[in-house]
Amino acid sequence: MASSSSPSGLPVETVVEVSARDPVFGEFGVSDGVVEALALRNIDATFPIQALVLADALAGRDVLAKSRTGSGKTLAFAVPMVERLAREDKPPAGLILVPTRELATQVADEFRGIADVGKLRVATVYGGVSISDQGKRAKHAEIVVATPGRLLDLVNRRLLTLDRIRIAVLDEADRMLDMGFLPDVNKIMQLLPAEDRQTMLFSATLDGEVGRIARAYTNDPVRHEIVDDRPVVSDANHRFLPVTRENRVDLLVRELAAERGLTLIFCRTKRGVDELAATLVKRGFQAQALHGDMSQPARERALARFDSGKMNVLVATDVAARGLDLDDITHVVNFDPPDDDKAYVHRVGRTARAGRGGTGLTLVLPEQRGDVSRMAARLKLHIEFEAGGMKVHPPRMVYTGGRRGGGIMGRRRRR
């Protein structure tokens, strides 16, 4: 196994492509009880990121893992945490920091499938619900899954202490920092025991600010990385459909009438979400809205209905859909195209997860074709864009002359 340095200065001991053979959990020394619990959920073979991380995580080493959202990374830290923690540990002993309340709920659900094996209790901590009730549950749980802001609220009110944490995980660290949680993450990490603590960090990137966090709070970490230079979700079928304001809803209805599973539709504004969801209900679809103005109980009910399939169309804003991690989403529709490349990857990444297929459909109005075509070209989706009957526009040109004049026309820098 070769060692090298990453651009962030962190050691890279394992950088591999997706393996042709997927080892089973038992090969890594996972206990029979956990293996059986996973088998009850039809989980046997490991995903690549799990196969990379498990041995070091089970051995108690600090781990840095670079892997896309939807790669199956939750079990890569959940299984080792359940194996290494015991009911005798004074709670809380395990902490997972996540960027959103939706992701907190989903991670906790993954844990509960195996935590019973070790008789470990799992609690979630996030905003929008009673802080005192959360404090009581978290105080007596061995494993706490939390968003940074609400966790600090509990600590500041002395409803929870973090001085007994043995294993800490930062999940989707890049998104946490993108959402402005860096100060909170620093405060939380400084509250944890410095000695005898295992720290694992999972992120789509391990460079920049994420790399600095990793260097500050890990000890001799092993870095694992899934080599994947593709700019978008490769297993998705990317489609671009030209529409007008007059026929956009009708064409969407036609698409929704085709065979599909759960469908997630993105709109730019909360008002747009409400209006489109109401229109689709009138057209006979089981649709519902999800956005930031809804109360937390209402959001949870909407997600539960969507997850169960009772309502198979969810219309949401980008903020509301952050952290949404459901295996049965077969279609993502950009009713309003995303603002940038990163948003496109995030949206379409809600489908085609963990090796499953899926479709990402973007509706393109005439005035949006230039910007969307350039985004498609940057993401190497120009063929898919042109397959929709539209032309890929050249990069915008801007004047880049200096003070002395006589400047040249050059490509506009990415925004």
Q: What is the pLDDT of residues 44-68, one digit of tens each?
A: 889 888 999 999 999 999 999 987 6
Nearest to 259 by CA among 222, 312, 302, 207: 312
Both 86 and 198 in a single domain? yes
Report the pLDDT averaged over residues 373-377: 92
The pLDDT > 90 percentage for the chain reads 52
Q: Is residue 247 part of a domain?
A: yes
> 17-44 burial by CB neighbour count: b if 16+ within 10 A, else e?
eeeeeeeebeebebbeebbebbeeeebe
Both 173 and 244 in a single domain? no
Rounded Cα–Cα distance for residues 52 and 219 (Å): 19
Report the pLDDT averaged over residues 275-282: 96
**CB neighbours of 372 closer than 8 A, spacing ≥ 6?**
240, 337, 362, 364, 385
**77, 171 in Cβ contact below 8 A?**
yes
Report the pLDDT averaged over residues 188-206: 92
pLDDT of 137-166, one tens digit each?
999 999 999 999 999 999 999 999 999 999
pLDDT of 219-228, one tens digit each?
999 999 876 5
pTM for the predicted model, two decimal places: 0.65
Rounded Cα–Cα distance for residues 79 and 25 (Å): 9
Q: Which of 226, 251, 285 is the last residue of a domain?
A: 226
Both 130 and 193 in a single domain? yes
Both 55 and 132 in a single domain? yes
pLDDT for res 11? 52
Q: Please tell me which residue, 179 or 271, carries the higher pLDDT value.
A: 271
Q: Is residue 404 part of a domain?
A: no
pLDDT for res 228? 57
pLDDT of 162-176, one tens digit each?
999 999 999 989 888
CATH number for the domain spanning 191: value is 3.40.50.300
**236, 305 in Cβ contact below 8 A?**
no
| Position 2 pLDDT exceeds 50 | no
Q: Is residue 303 part of a domain?
A: yes
Q: Is residue 157 part of a domain?
A: yes
**CB neighbours of 337 closer than 8 A, spacing ≥ 6?**
344, 362, 363, 364, 368, 371, 372, 375
| Position 367 pLDDT exceeds 90 | yes
Report the pLDDT averaged over residues 266-288: 95
Strand blocks (E) in 191-250: 198-203, 222-226, 236-242
pLDDT of 303-326, one tens digit each?
889 988 899 999 999 876 666 767
Both 120 and 262 in a single domain? no
Q: Which of 226, 258, 289 is the last residue of a domain?
A: 226
Q: Which of 183, 202, 226 is the last residue of a domain?
A: 226
**123, 145 in Cβ contact below 8 A?**
yes
**101, 149 in Cβ contact below 8 A?**
no
By residue range, what is the domain housing residue 44?
4-226
Q: Is residue 409 part of a domain?
A: no
Count structural domains, the chain: 2
Q: How far is CA 117 from CA 83, 84, 168, 347, in A?
A: 9, 12, 20, 35
pLDDT for res 6? 47
Both 102 and 200 in a single domain? yes
Both 142 and 251 in a single domain? no
Rounded Cα–Cα distance for residues 35 and 23 (Å): 13
Rounded Cα–Cα distance for residues 343 and 189 (Å): 29
**91, 164 in Cβ contact below 8 A?**
yes
